[in-house]
């Protein structure tokens, strides 16, 4: 065991790892928000609630159908994504021509409904979700003990983020998406079904949130409130990164997670607020966000 800046390496790297894990969730969630905002021009306030739904979905699958973590990793995002598509078709699609604020208000209402319903049926306390068999245990790296599941979460989120980036920035489908973000009318005139693309984008963004929820289930307990406070931090992350760039969202998400983890080591009182303070500083120095474009 050795020390860095007077802090035992175990504690330092432990918090760094927690920071990376929080960062993965920030990255995946802010990515989903950015994708949805790009196409729908709506800030999805129910993103946190949908993240929570993903975790509950995994819990139900295990509890009632006996389907394990790996199945949940596939089924939960699809199920919650379909839920999102239903919401988009029945509610959100009527708001596109209005001020953006109505989208925020509607999804805020949805978040209240979803979280309220889950809280009434499952109480405020968390439900446990076991770490899958194959990812239990850990590796001793010498300077720290690395639980395999946590390493898996960080790596898998990174892969998901990079795949999303590749799909949007490097494939034909992504090109359509980006074009429709810039000018939907022209893209429609080329025969692309833009409304359907918008619907699927919302489903995809919501699915990403659910995926993060499944990954979070074994780390934090599955609880109705798990998304509510997280989403506000993710909003701050989005303000810091700016929603213009996919890569920006990923980098900001992971970076802020790490900074938050380090704050827990060196100045624990500020760990809850450090991201908001950074947001304030970024607003002073670079109002458009680190990766944002001036609107």
Partner 1 sequence: MAQDLAQVETVMPAETERKGHAIPIAFAIMVGLLLIAPYFVYPQIVMQALCFALFACAFNLLIGYVGLLSFGHALFFGWASYVCAHLAKVGTVQLPYWLGSWKWLVIPMPPLPPELAILGGTAVAALFGLIAGALAIRRQGIYFAMITLALAQMMFFFALQAKFTGGEDGIQAVPRGWLFGTFDLSRPAVLYGTVLCIFLLGFLLIYRIIHSPFGEVLKAIRENEARAISLGYKTDRYKLVAFVLSAALAGLAGSTKALVVQLASLTDVNWHMSGEVVLMTLVGGLGTIFGPVAGAFIIIAMQNFLSALDQWVTVIQGVIFVIVVLLFRRGVVGEIAALLRIKL
Binding of partner 1 at residue 122 (CB under 8 A)?
no
CA distances from 234 to 20, 44, 79, 229 (A): 14, 11, 23, 9
Nearest alpha-carbon partner for 148 in 17, 10, 254: 17
Among 67, 71, 276, 290, indicate the residue that binds partner 1 (CB under 8 A).
276
Q: Which two tokens stand for residue 149?
A: 């599941």
Token pair 């990954």 is at which residue? 215
Whole-number Å distance between alpha carbons of 132 and 142:
25
Query: Which member of 74, 82, 163, 283 binds partner 1 (CB under 8 A)?
Result: 283
In this chain, which of 7, 11, 71, 104 binds partner 1, going by CB under 8 A? 104
In the set 136, 173, 287, 293, which binds partner 1 (CB under 8 A)?
287
Which of 181, 248, 216 minimizes the C-alpha distance to 31?
Answer: 248
Question: CA 90, CA 86: separation in Å to the nearest integer?
Answer: 6
Q: Which of residues 235-254 bind partner 1 (CB under 8 A)?
A: 235-236, 238-239
86 binds partner 1 (CB under 8 A): no
The number of angstroms, rounded, from the C-alpha of 149 to the middle of its chain's C-alpha atoms is 18
- The distance of closest approach from Cβ of residue 137 to partner 1 in the complex, given in angstroms and rounded to an integer, is 35
Per the CB < 8 A criterion, the answer to whether 257 and 22 are in contact is yes
- Pick the closer one to partner 1 by CB: 196 or 294: 294
Q: Is position 229 an interface residue for partner 1 (rule: CB under 8 A)? A: yes
Region binding partner 1 by CB under 8 A among candidate stretches 6-14, 95-103, 162-170, 190-198: 95-103
Q: Among 111, 160, 161, 265, which residue interacts with partner 1 (rule: CB under 8 A)? A: 111
Q: Give the three-state DSSP class for 165.
A: helix
What CA–CA distance (Å, rounded) separates 124 from 129? Answer: 16
Window of 164-172, 180-188, 209-217, 276-284 that interacts with partner 1 by CB under 8 A:
276-284
Site of interaction with partner 1 (CB under 8 A): 37, 43, 91, 94-95, 98, 100-102, 104-106, 108-117, 119-120, 229, 232-233, 235-236, 238-239, 269, 272-273, 276-277, 279-280, 283-284, 287-288, 295
């Amino acid at each position: 065991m050795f020390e860095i800046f007077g802090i035992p390496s175990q504690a330092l790297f432990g918090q760094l790892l927690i920071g990376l894990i929080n960062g993965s969730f920030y990255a995946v969630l802010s990515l989903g928000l950015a994708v949805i905002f790009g196409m729908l021009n709506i800030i999805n306030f129910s993103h946190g609630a949908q993240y929570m739904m993903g975790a509950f979905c995994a819990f139900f699958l295990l509890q009632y159908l006996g389907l394990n973590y790996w199945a949940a990793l596939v089924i939960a995002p699809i199920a919650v994504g379909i839920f999102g598509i239903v919401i988009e078709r029945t509610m959100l699609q009527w708001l596109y021509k209005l001020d953006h604020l109505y989208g925020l208000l509607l999804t805020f209402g949805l978040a209240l409904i979803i979280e309220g319903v889950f809280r009434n049926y499952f109480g405020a306390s968390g439900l446990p979700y076991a770490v899958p068999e194959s990812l239990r245990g850990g590796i001793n790296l010498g300077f720290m003990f690395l639980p395999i599941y946590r390493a898996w979460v960080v790596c898998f989120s990174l892969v998901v983020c990079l795949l999303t980036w590749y799909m949007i920035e490097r494939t034909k489908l992504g090109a359509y998406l980006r074009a429709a973000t810039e000018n939907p009318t022209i893209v429609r005139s080329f025969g692309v079904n833009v409304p359907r693309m918008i619907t699927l984008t919302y489903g995809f963004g919501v699915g990403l949130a659910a995926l993060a929820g499944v990954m979070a289930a074994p780390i934090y307990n599955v609880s109705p409130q798990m998304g509510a406070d997280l989403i506000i931090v993710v909003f701050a992350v989005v303000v810091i990164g700016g929603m213009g760039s996919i890569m920006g969202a990923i980098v900001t998400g992971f970076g802020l997670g790490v900074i938050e983890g380090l704050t827990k080591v060196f100045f624990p009182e500020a760990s809850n607020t450090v991201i908001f303070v950074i947001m304030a500083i970024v607003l002073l120095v670079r109002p458009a966000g680190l990766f944002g474009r001036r609107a």
